Structure 1
Amino acid sequence: MKYLNSDILREIGSLSRCIHSISDLKFKEINLQKGQFTFLTRICENQGINQIDLSNLLKVDKTTTTKAIQKLIEAGYIVKNRDEVDKRMWRLYPKEKALEIYKFIIEEENRNIEVCFNDFSAEEKEIVNKLVKKMRENIENGWKEIKNF
């Protein structure tokens, strides 16, 4: 039987699932379904983004993005407008309702960050941030190859 060289990815996965579970419960009260808050925050932060770029930003497939976008439109959080130059492309914009709850979502994310970094020094926080970012950059290269970028 082979053994893992490190359990770091399992730890990161557990961390991510815990945060998503907490967030999904918190955001249920504002009519956001599972994981939709990630789509909503990125649209608020990147107004006018198209669905392909949103998929790439979140590292999800186009089908997942399409379903999430449709649900956010139906819930009255975002609007999809045809691009003025390239009529084949659609741009995503937050509605006022989305911008209002964006603040609430960010407050919740900041609370999760505080909990995760409890008893960490400023230096430790910076080191963790740099190392995890480096890990993401490393694996992103493999992801881009698989996705044919």
Structure 2
Amino acid sequence: MEDVLRTIGTIARALDSIANIEFVDIDLTRGQYLYLARICEQPGIIQEQLANQLNVDRATVARSVQKLEKKNIITRQNDAKNLRIKHLLPTEKGRSVYKTVKRENDYSTKIAVDGMTDSEILELSKLLNKMKKNINHSWKYVKDGNKREY
């Protein structure tokens, strides 16, 4: 069986390294662009939703959100009905920084699928989403304190 997870991991690490190097000049460090992108694309998202979308624990999200807030890239807004809920919103600076993040993502996507037909790209997207769904089940299972048997 072809080790597709190694290939996916190699691609993900390369793109993450590129982004971390290229985003130094816009004051984003190690993976913060992922959080900013989700917040800009879904203004008002809450930390728990962010954790679930990125498959990271709440403490990791809290640290990253706090750093972005200190840099005035995002802000928190109290929920109108439940003051314990804080909605995450991009600031003007955050929206400006996001434009660079989006351009980099679009460029990297273009490079990654170079030479593929539209139907191949569509099929790849479908297969990757299927894999993501499969893995999300395991992630939630392990996150809840369970251990997989293999």
Q: When the two structures are superposed, what TM-score results if normalisation uses the length of structure 2?
A: 0.91
Shift of residue 88, structure 1, vs aligned partner: 1.3
The answer to whether residue 126 in structure 2 is matched with residue 108 in structure 1 is no
| CA distance in structure 1 between the aligned counterparts of 2:87 and 2:118, rounded to whole angstroms | 39
Give the residue type in structure 1 aligned to 2:14: C
Query: In the alignment, which of 59, 68, 72 is matched to residue 72 of structure 1?
Result: 68
> What is the aligned partner in structure 1 of residue 17 from structure 2?
21
Matches within 5 A, 1:1-149: 5-148=1-144
The share of aligned pairs that are identical, in percent, is: 35
Give the residue type in structure 2 aligned to 1:23: A
3-state SS in 1 of match to 2:23: helix
| CA distance in structure 2 between the aligned counterparts of 1:109 and 1:70, rounded to whole angstroms | 24
Shift of residue 144, structure 1, vs aligned partner: 2.4
3-state SS in 1 of match to 2:75: strand
3-state SS in 2 of match to 1:64: helix
The runs of at least 4 consecutive aligned structure 1 residues that moved more than 4 Å come to none
| CA distance in structure 2 between the aligned counterparts of 1:120 and 1:7, rounded to whole angstroms | 21
Q: CA RMSD in A?
A: 1.1
| CA distance in structure 2 between the aligned counterparts of 1:13 and 1:108, rounded to whole angstroms | 19
Shift of residue 120, structure 1, vs aligned partner: 0.9
Task: Note the residue ranges of structure 1 that are not aligned, 5 or more in a row.
Answer: none
Shift of residue 145, structure 1, vs aligned partner: 2.5
Q: When the two structures are superposed, what TM-score results if normalisation uses the length of structure 1?
A: 0.92
| CA distance in structure 2 between the aligned counterparts of 1:41 and 1:26, rounded to whole angstroms | 15
Shift of residue 147, structure 1, vs aligned partner: 3.3
Shift of residue 143, structure 1, vs aligned partner: 1.9
How many residue pairs match? The answer is: 144
